[in-house]
Amino acid sequence: MNDAPRSDPSTSPLLLDLYQLTMFQAYVDQDMEQTAVFEFFVRRLPPRRGFLLAAGLEQVLSYLEDLRFTTAEIAWLERRGFSRRCCGRLARMRFTGDVHAVPEGTVMFPNEPLLRIVAPLPEAQLVESRLINLLHYQTMVASKAARCVLAAPGKTLIDFGMRRAHGAEAALYAARAAWIAGFHGSATVLAEARWDIPASGTMAHSFVQAHEGETEAFEHFARSRRKGVVLLVDTYDTEAAVRKVVRLAPRLRAEGIAIDAVRLDSGDLLALARRTRSILDEGGLQATGIFASGGLDEDQLRELVGAGAPIDGFGVGTALDTAADAPYLDCAYKLQEYAGVPRRKRSAGKETWPGRKQVYRRHDDGGQMCGDTLTLEEEVLAGDALLRPWMAGGKRLQPPESLATIRERAAAGIASLPPALRELEPTDSYPVTVSPALRALAEECDRRTGGAAFT
């Protein structure tokens, strides 16, 4: 397979849309190598969303740093019909541009750039597909996870979604995005191996079924695990299983093993949690917690928490990793300037703001976010400028941020959201205004290309 392109999707430079390569060739043919400016932003929030939580920048920076084509890949592209000149340029291709972006964990809103690429046009264009693929998914999942955090304050939240995440990379990055948003861990072991995100887990129904009885299953599991013992009690009859746990506990305690929690995974979780709590308390297991899972989303978390369900932690799986109620963001990576001239697209419903932009954010005296302004890069306003430089001339300007830093930033951002945006059904939208200078630039672009003013 020496002559074959690398086929691992996470690292292959061929994971892109064909048109990136055909446009690359056309640009190279015409020597269109001047500086292009592209920005990534979300056009509209999905239904019921009040904000976004930016995530995925670190993966974009790694992608840009590592992007190169092997000899085998270039040979394949030549066989595929790309010109010798195009293939020569691809063989030399390194990302040599600048990256500005908001740091991961920043609360963001529609039409605000999350990231800007300034690079020779062929490079800036080539990276579009994978850059969107990376930023879109983690931002979507972090934004969904933030809703779970808001719905269940003080509860332990664990990402359980690996099995129904869309493939391997989604499973891994969902754990990262959820951790950034304030989750306390993930069932996905690789997330701990890679980022020290605490892996957490219980047992499957099959474990109970493989044993002759539940008590035997619980006992074997507890003796093998010894610490962090969580027993699944809904395989046959939940209340009966909880009573078995109570009867088993003294025997395990004598061996120095505590039962940390029981897990409910089906049925009426509110009623079962109350019955379970009573049985555990009556059995002297006040220190044994209740963990719930089974198709949960932020709405069910809010309902259970609001009803005072005695549940200490939740596993959120499929709804989180697929962002099931809104499994994509209407996002784009658009050309804003080429060869020093601002550009804008005017396709119906898809108009963009031209030029290099900045976002200024204001907080009130209590530290609450109270409004953003979308400006040209060179404007200076009161408030915090959200976009920062991360890469210059293709080189990182600093080492990767720690996940702890990112997670703290997200927590601070979520804590400073206006009350209307802290609800699962936002009752108001956040004020984002556009600076007069940016409006003037958009009008100038339209005059140049003969279009109507941006409305």
Site for a second copy in 110-149 (CB under 8 A): 121, 125, 128-130, 132-134, 136-137
Position 267 contacts a second copy (CB under 8 A): yes
- Which residues inside 420-449 make contact with a second copy, applying CB under 8 A? 449
* Binder among 3, 153, 210, 393 for a second copy (CB under 8 A): 210
Nearer to a second copy (CB atom), residue 3 or residue 384: 3
Q: Going by C-beta distance under 8 Å and a sequence separation of 6 or more, which residues neighbour residue 35?
A: 118, 119, 120, 121, 337, 338, 339, 340
Whose Cβ is closer to a second copy: residue 220's or residue 362's?
Answer: 220
Output Rg (C-alpha) for the chain, integer angstroms. 26
Contacts to a second copy from residues 339-358, by CB under 8 A: 343-350
Which residues, including other chains, have CB under 8 Å from residue 305's CB and lie 6 or more apart? 151, 152, 153, 155, 311
Query: In the complex, what is the shortest distance from the CB of residue 19 to a second copy, in angstroms, rounded to a whole number?
Result: 4
Query: With binding defined as CB under 8 A, does residue 172 bind a second copy?
Result: yes
Residue 36 lies near a second copy (rule: CB under 8 A): yes
Per-residue contact track with a second copy, 277 to 306, x per CB under 8 A?
------------------------------
Residue choice 74, 127, 162, 309 for contact with a second copy (CB under 8 A):
162
Q: Does the protein bind a second copy through residue 324 (CB under 8 A)? A: yes
- Token pair recorded at residue 106: 């920043």
- Comparison of 98 and 337: residue with beta carbon closer to a second copy: 337
Residue 409 touching a second copy (CB under 8 A): no
Strand order in the sheet with 98-101: 341-342, 330-338, 35-44, 115-120, 98-101, 388-392, 395-396
Q: For residue 437, which phi and psi values (nearest 5 degrees)?
A: -65, -40
Out of 41, 51, 95, 160, the residue judged to bind a second copy by CB under 8 A = 160
The DSSP string of 292-317 is E-SS--HHHHHHHHHTT----EEEE-
Binding of a second copy at residue 377 (CB under 8 A)?
Answer: no
DSSP state of 419: G
Cα torsion 76, 81, 82, 85 to 10°: value is 100
Token duo for residue 258: 């505590």
Q: Which is nearer to a second copy, 25 or 373 (CB)?
A: 25
Report if residue 21 touches a second copy, rule: CB under 8 A.
Answer: yes
Among 44, 94, 236, 433, binds a second copy (CB under 8 A): 236
Closest CA to 167 of 296, 288, 38, 9: 9
Q: Which is nearer to a second copy, 207 or 383 (CB)?
A: 207
Closest by CA to 329, choosing from 42, 61, 12, is 42
